[in-house]
């Protein structure tokens, strides 16, 4: 192949489509016909298959061009999702022939999840079957919005216009109920070739598109480099030797592009800076980089950035919330249940999550649907509301695909995957917007957070003790402050009582109850000031709910909040607790465990090292 031809092939547009339908409605036949009619088969392949059929004394079927497994040939069915390639004048296609038998439908989930559009087949002779409705519902849950309905085997229905129009009316009404608008309906005979690649003379009453024309009419998503900038942060590399003071923020640009001089923001913390340079491994420094490239960037002003943050332009931000509405595909041996904590991984971010609500469940093994299930079982496709422990930066899949897909991990095994369909405002949405505006307008000095971290030898953050009165948490906090201070850590005990005595002195007891949220807000802003100055802030409170915890986490972000809960019963510990103690009998042992947590979470390097 010439270099020019190679370049042309490389530049051609590609699209993934999936073929779905009830068993024996002709999916493999349609794919085989598409391969043959677009000259996409290897030279001599069709003649070879026809010769095999002749020797075996059976009629040639276009499906035989596709079937590769011996079991498929013997049973006459497609076992697994096959990936085939064909091309038109407009673009190249990767076409997925998804299996239709009930025992193989779980494999279709994998096939359809990779598709940008779908062709759904209905047998003209059999009409709309229950599985036809279920396939439409499944495509809807998978987020496949571009759908063409092909009414196949019109030859068996004597090419009847009335049959086609009856199926079109019935299935259109169903799709409207689930919010799917098909691009068009096409009457075809995959076996005879009618309206696959070209219209023949058997249906003069139909003047619409052929299947190839309808597929070419599918809209391709904008190239990733033309989408909003999204770079999940993989790591931050610090160079503090030989005069090299660079801090390189490394990651892969999943969409968009970025150049030197661009103003960027890191979410969910909303820290902003300007790109000072772009570093590429084993290559000269670049001025601009695009989607698909793994790069490092340095910032004109050092801000606190950590793995899992998403870098974007200020003008088009990702969504931030602790609540997401998602469609998940569950493959775990154990069911996904209420009350259990799972790890959600999106890009480079990893955050604990749990089910907040199950809206509907579709069993992918038989396509039975339910709105009453209280758990998500193996091979279920479910629409759920997930609550994450900490705010998560993400996009809806239809907006930016790569930051809208995630996996769910349990005990180091990937048990499920999902796509984010919508953002749901949580209790912190308004506060998060206010905190983001505060960060954008913050008057910064010449000493950065990175400078303070380098000077003190540790990160800043908030250690919050909670639990009932009399559990000993106040004394543990004091011991921890003393220990950290003696080991060279910049730390401060910020007791809620002191805040109340100061900023809340003008509120009587009744007013304090009414202004609880405002007092927590004031406390969070004070903690933010101390954290911004480089301190590890230590605080205690008798009771704090999940909403209060998240509010404080929002206010001190991007610094991390560690939650230490002391209570007699572990089952009463809040979801957000990083450490739980039943009681405090030995203060030194408790402090030692907390210090180990600070080291594990990279707040401090080690007690001895800090002291040195």
Q: Do strands 147-152 and 117-123 pair parallel, antiparallel, or not at all (unpaired)?
A: parallel
Locate tokens 């849950």: which residue?
141
Low-confidence ranges of the chain (pLDDT < 50): 1-9, 68-73, 77, 79, 81, 101-112, 609-612
In 3D space, the residue among 465, 444, 458 whose CA is nearest the CA of residue 552 turns out to be 465
CA-to-CA distance for 257 and 197, rounded, in angstroms?
A: 38
Reply yes or no on domain 319-430 having CATH 2.40.30.10. yes
What residues pair up with 259 in beta bridges, in sequence order? 288
pLDDT at 251: 94
Encoding tokens for residue 488?
């060279």
**What residue spans define the domains of the chain?**
3-216, 224-313, 319-430, 445-611
pLDDT at 571: 52
Domains 319-430 and 445-611 equal at CATH topology level: no
**Residue 309 backbone phi and psi in degrees, to 5:** -65, 155
Tell me if residue 449 falls in helix, strand or coil.
Answer: helix
pLDDT at 516: 67
pLDDT at 390: 81
Given a contact cutoff of 8 angstroms between Cβ atoms, the answer to whether 594 and 564 are in contact is yes
pLDDT at 369: 74
Encoding tokens for residue 391?
């705010």
Given a contact cutoff of 8 angstroms between Cβ atoms, the answer to whether 80 and 336 are in contact is no
List CB contacts of 78: < 8 A, sequence separation 6 or more: 27, 28, 63, 66, 67, 72, 97, 99, 100, 104
DSSP 8-state assignment for residue 371:
S
Q: Do strands 14-21 and 92-97 pair parallel, antiparallel, or not at all (unpaired)?
A: parallel
**What are the tens digits of pLDDT across the range 174-193?**
888 877 889 999 999 999 99
pLDDT at 244: 66
CATH topology assigned to domain 3-216: Rossmann fold (3.40.50)
Encoding tokens for residue 275?
């790109």
Please work out, in degrees rounded to the nearest 5, the angle formed at the alpha carbon of residue 129 by the alpha carbons of 126 and 135.
130
In 3D space, the residue among 213, 126, 229 whose CA is nearest the CA of residue 170 turns out to be 126
What residues pair up with 329 in beta bridges, in sequence order? 381, 417
CATH topology assigned to domain 445-611: Rossmann fold (3.40.50)
Instruction: Return the CATH class of domain 224-313.
Output: mainly beta
Given a contact cutoff of 8 angstroms between Cβ atoms, the answer to whether 597 and 452 are in contact is no
pLDDT at 73: 46
């Amino acid at each position: 192949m010439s270099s020019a031809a190679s370049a042309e092939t490389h530049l051609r547009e590609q699209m993934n489509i999936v073929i779905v339908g009830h068993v024996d409605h002709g999916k493999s036949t349609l794919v085989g016909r598409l391969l043959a009619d677009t000259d996409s088969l290897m030279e001599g392949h069709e003649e070879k298959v026809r010769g095999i059929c002749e020797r075996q004394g059976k009629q040639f079927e276009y499906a035989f061009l596709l079937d590769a497994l011996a079991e498929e040939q013997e049973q006459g069915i497609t076992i697994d999702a096959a990936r085939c390639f064909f091309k038109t004048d407009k673009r190249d296609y990767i076409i997925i022939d998804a299996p239709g038998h009930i025992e193989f439908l779980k494999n279709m989930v994998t096939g359809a999840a990779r598709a940008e559009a779908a062709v759904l087949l209905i047998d003209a002779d059999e009409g709309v079957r229950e599985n036809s409705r279920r396939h439409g519902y499944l495509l809807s849950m998978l987020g496949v919005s571009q759908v063409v309905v092909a009414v196949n085997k019109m030859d068996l229905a004597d090419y009847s216009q009335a049959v086609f129009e009856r199926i079109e009316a019935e299935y259109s009404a169903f799709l409207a109920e689930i919010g799917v608008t098909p691009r068009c309906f096409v009457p075809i005979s995959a076996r005879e070739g009618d309206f696959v690649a070209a219209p023949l003379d058997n249906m003069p009453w139909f003047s619409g598109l052929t299947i190839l024309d309808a597929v070419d009419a599918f809209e391709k998503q904008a190239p990733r480099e033309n989408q909003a900038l999204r770079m999940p942060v993989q790591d931050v590399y610090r160079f503090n030797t030989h005069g090299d003071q660079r801090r390189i923020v490394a990651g892969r640009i999943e969409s968009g592009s970025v150049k030197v001089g661009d103003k960027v923001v890191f979410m969910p913390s909303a820290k902003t800076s300007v790109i000072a340079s772009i570093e590429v491994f084993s290559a000269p420094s670049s001025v601009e980089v695009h989607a698909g490239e793994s790069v490092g960037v340095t910032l004109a002003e050092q801000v606190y950035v950590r793995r899992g943050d998403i870098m974007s332009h200020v003008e088009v931000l990702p969504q931030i919330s602790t609540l997401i509405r998602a469609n998940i595909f569950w493959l775990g041996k154990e069911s996904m249940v209420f009350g259990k904590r799972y790890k959600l991984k999106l890009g480079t971010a990893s955050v604990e999550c749990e089910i907040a609500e199950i809206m509907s469940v579709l069993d992918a093994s038989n396509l039975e649907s339910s709105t009453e299930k209280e758990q998500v079982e193996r091979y279920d496709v479910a629409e759920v509301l997930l609550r994450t422990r900490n705010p998560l930066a993400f996009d809806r899949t239809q907006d930016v695909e790569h930051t809208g897909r995630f996996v769910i991990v349990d005990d180091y095994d990937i048990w499920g995957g999902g796509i984010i369909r919508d953002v749901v405002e949580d209790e912190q949405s308004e506060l998060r917007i206010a905190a983001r505006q505060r960060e954008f307008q913050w008057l910064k000095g010449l000493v950065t957070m990175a400078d303070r971290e380098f000077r003190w030898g540790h990160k800043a953050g908030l250690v919050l003790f909670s639990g009932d009165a009399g559990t000993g948490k106040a004394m543990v906090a004091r011991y921890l402050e003393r220990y950290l201070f003696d080991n060279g850590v910049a730390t401060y005990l910020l007791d809620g009582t002191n805040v109340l005595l100061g900023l809340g002195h003008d509120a009587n007891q009744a007013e304090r109850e009414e202004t609880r949220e405002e007092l927590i807000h004031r406390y969070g802003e004070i903690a933010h000031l101390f954290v911004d100055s480089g301190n590890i802030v230590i605080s205690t409170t008798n009771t704090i709910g999940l909403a209060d915890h998240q509010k404080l986490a929002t206010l001190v972000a991007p610094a991390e909040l560690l939650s230490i809960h002391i209570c007699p019963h572990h089952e009463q510990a809040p979801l957000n607790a990083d450490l739980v103690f039943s009681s405090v009998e030995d203060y030194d042992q408790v402090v030692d465990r907390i210090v180990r947590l600070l080291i594990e979470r990279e707040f401090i390097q080690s007690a001895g090292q800090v002291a040195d």
